[in-house]
Each structure stands twice: as C-alpha cells, then as structure tokens.
Structure 1
Amino acid sequence: TPVMEGIINFHHDLMFFLITITLFVCWMLFRVITLFDEKKNKIPATIVHGATIEIIWTSIPALILLIVAIPSFALLYSMDEIIDPIITLKVIGSQWYWSYEYSDNLKFSDEPLIFDSYMVQEDDLAIGQFRLLEVDNRVVVPTNSHIRVLITASDVLHSWAIPSLGIKLDACPGRLNQTSMFIKREGVFYGQCSEICGVNHGFMPIVVEAVSLEDYLTWLKNKINFDFNI
C-alpha cells in the first residue's frame, strides 16, 4: 500500500539521522576519554558556562526534530484520508474471532454479506497454510481500489493489524474507527489482533486476500448468489 511504502521510506530517512547521531556521540565520548584523562590533566578545567555551546546543542537537536516531524505528521494524517472508496468493509472484533460485513451489494441483495472468520486449527491445516495465521473465511478485496475500513468491537478492546499493509487500528466497543487501504498488487496478507483481549488473544488471526477486480466480482457473485454482469 502507499501508506506502507511511506512508512518504509520514512524509516530509511530516519536511519540516516540515527546513525549520524550515534557515531557523533561515540566519537565525542572517545575524545573525552582520551583528552581528559586524569594522568594527562592533573588540574581539571574550571569552565562552568558557555553560551555558544549551549545554543548549539539546543538548536541543532530542535532542528533535527523539526525535520523529522514534518514528514512524520504528513504520513500520519495521510493514513486518515478516505478517497472516494468503492468498497466499505466493516470489521467487528469479538472474543476470539473477527466478523466482516460488506454492505455495498445491497442493490443486488436484500441484506449485506456478513461472515465470521475463525482461526484454522493446527490439525485442519492444509499443506502450505501457516500455523496460527490461517482462517476459515478470508477477507477478499480488489487491487488498485480505494477501500474504506470501519472497525469496532462487540465486547472488549481488540486491534485489527496487518503489518505488511501498514494498517493497525483499535477496535473499541461502542466506537467506530475508520481507515483506508489501497493495495497495489495481488497476494495474501496476514495479521493478528494486536491488543491483549483475553486468554485466546493470540488465536484470532487476520487474512486479507487481494485479487483483481474481476476475480473479486466473481467471488462476490458466488457469495451473494446473484448473477450480475462483470
């Protein structure tokens, strides 16, 4: 997703500052240890105040923080942008499974598409499926499409998180949180609940399968049992 690409690029840019600051601090420590050795300087320096150096070590960190903050806030607010979504996916967290609701098919069906998604037990896994990550009902979405995601919970706090898509949003009872995603390529993306929600917190995975728009419409047609033109 563009959000995840932004997070990766921001991480790479931030690493430049982190490495530079780390090397500078290590160099300063080494200089202090070697130049201000007790054996070399029997009489310690009596300097207690320096306006110039204080201005420097205050202004430079402030400038670095400002340089870091500008792209950070831009990326943060871009996560909240909802751009003309073609699909609205509602996510409901429960102990200990996820429920999903597609409501955009109401012109073809009398009721929205709703299903629950449970973790596949280890004994039921097929070859190639991942332990503790596979579910019985995957979320299917089209690629290259703006998708709005509404998230809430029915009992306790949960968190719908898919690291590879750059998505992590809390599911709170009585509150509807919103985010968006735009997946650029087809694939299967895995996530898990990221808020401790009880004894089976570690057993409510998330699986999002991104397919082409044609395959998505075919999947939706089979789910709602309605033959509309693709």
Structure 2
Amino acid sequence: MATWSNLGLQDSASPLMEQLNFFHDHTLLILIMITILVGYLMFMLFFNKFTNRFLLHGQTIEIIWTILPAIVLMFIALPSLRILYLLDEINSPAITLKTIGHQWYWSYEYSDFLNLEFDSYMVPTNELETNGFRLLDVDNRIVLPMNTQVRILVTAADVLHSWTIPALGVKVDATPGRLNQTNFLMNRPGLFFGQCSEICGANHSFMPIVLESSPT
C-alpha cells in the first residue's frame, strides 16, 4: 500500500508489476537524458557569441533531428508493446474471481465453487480497530493463493467503476453490461490494498479493495 512521503511506485507483488516498474525506470532514464541534452543545447545557444548571418538551412542537422527522435521512440515503443501484450495474456488460470461494482461496495463470486459469494463494504471509522487502516479496511477480504494464475472477471451493476490494486499492476474498468477480464499472479504473501479508480458518485472514495495473498 502507499505510505506517507512515498513518492515512487509501490513495491511490486506480481511479475507484471515488476515489468511495469522496469518500463517506468527505462522511460524515465530516456526522458532525463533528453532533458539534459536539450538543456545543455539551450544553455550553449544563449550564452555564446557565435553568429552566422548567412545560414539559410541545414540539411544535415535536419536529418539528425528527424532520425534521432525516431530511434528514441522505438526504444520506448517496443517495451511498451511487449507489456501491452503481457497485460492481455491469460495463461491457464487455476482460479476465477468475479467482481461486481455497486454504488458503493464490491461483491465477489468465486466461480469455481458453488454458492461462494459475498459483499465487501468499507469499515466505518467509528468501527475501526486500533491497528486498522482508515478508509482502506473492509469487512470481508478477498483471499487468493499466491503463486497461482488468477483470472478476474469485472463488471458493474449500476454505473462505471474501476477495480484497481496498484501493487499487482491491475486496473480493470467495471462497465454495466460488459464483462472485462484480466489475470495476475501474486509472488508474495500479504495484504494488498486498492480503491475504486473511476468516479462513480458521492461515495466513490469509500469503495476500498483488500486482497489477502495466502501462501497455502
């Protein structure tokens, strides 16, 4: 979960989030290099005494500043496309979880078992335990095994919602009348927190998600 003064991304708890972290760092490095180069060129342009009154066009420099950005974009686009395909890939899921967004709570169904479904509401502040997390704890957590391919089906009963757990790199829109799906694999035990990430009404901020990753 996000903590106070944490300016970076959350620690990854799935291989997919690790790839997203690597891509973030890769892209940020390229952007920093471009910023330094452009800043240096601008500095040299403003603080030198060289002038050329007869320069009409520079074909060589035009070729360079056309080809170099194209190469840089390739270095960003290829890893991005790879991750986009990984996001949509579903590898023989061992368990399926169906998630339904409501105003303003989540309901869950374990599709591989008969009559295993429950609603998950935020625990109000006045009922919160001493070691609980305000606006993040729920009365019924999702419990899923770690190191297991999980498929999640997401829809909504009323308005648009979005089921999101940042530590897993998962964000799926919950749309009424439409069934979206994705998959993930948790490679560490623990509690992972998320929230509805689509404005859905007055109590949009009070739709937390808590997923418990169990080693057994």
The reply to whether TM is greater than 0.5 is yes
Paired residues of 1:189 and 1:207 also in contact (CA < 8 A) = yes
User: Does 2:204 align with 1:201?
Assistant: yes
Q: Superposed, which structure 2 residues align to 1:135-174 within 5 Å? A: 135-174=138-177
State the number of aligned residues: 203
> Which ranges in structure 1 are unaligned for 5 or more consecutive residues?
106-110, 214-230
Bigger Rg over Cα? 1
Distance 2:132 2:80 in 1: 36
What is the CA-CA distance between 1:190 and the residue it aligns to?
0.3
Match of 2:78 in 1: 70
1:59 aligns with 2:64: no
Partner of 1:22: 35
Question: 2:109 aligned with 1:101, yes or no?
Answer: yes
Displacement of 1:45 = 2.6
Percentage of matched positions with identical amino acids: 54
Q: Please give the per-residue CA displacement for 1:162-207, whole angstroms capped at 9, x wherever unaligned.
A: 1111011100000000100100010000000000000110000000
User: Residue deviations 1:87-129, cap 9 Å, x none?
Assistant: 0000000100001000212xxxxx3311000000001111211
1:25-64 equivalence runs, <5 A: 25-36=38-49, 45-64=53-72
Consecutive aligned runs of 4 or more in structure 1 exceeding 6 Å deviation: none
In the other structure, the counterpart of 1:92 is: 100
**TM-score under structure 2 normalisation?**
0.91
Equivalent residues of 1:171, 1:177 under 8 A apart: yes
Q: Which runs of 5+ in 2 are unaligned?
A: 1-13
Q: Which amino acid aligns with 1:101?
A: E
**For the Cα contact (< 8 Å) 1:185–1:210, is it kept in 2?**
yes
- Deviation digits for residues 35-55 of structure 1, max 9, x if unmatched? 15xxx75xx634231111111
SS at match of 2:119: strand
Per-residue displacement from partner, 1:108-157 (whole Å, max 9, x unpaired)?
A: xxx33110000000011112111000000001000000000000000110
The question of whether the paired residues in 2 share the 8 Å contact of 1:104 and 1:112 is answered with no
In 1: Cα distance, 2:115 partner to 2:65 partner: 60
In structure 1, what is the equivalent of residue 215 of structure 2? 212
Give the match's secondary structure for 1:79: helix
Deviation at 1:161, TM superposition (A): 0.6
CA distance in structure 2 between the partners assigned to 1:46 and 1:124 by the alignment: 78
TM-score, L = length of structure 1: 0.86
User: What SS does the corresponding residue of 1:195 show, helix, strand or coil?
Assistant: coil
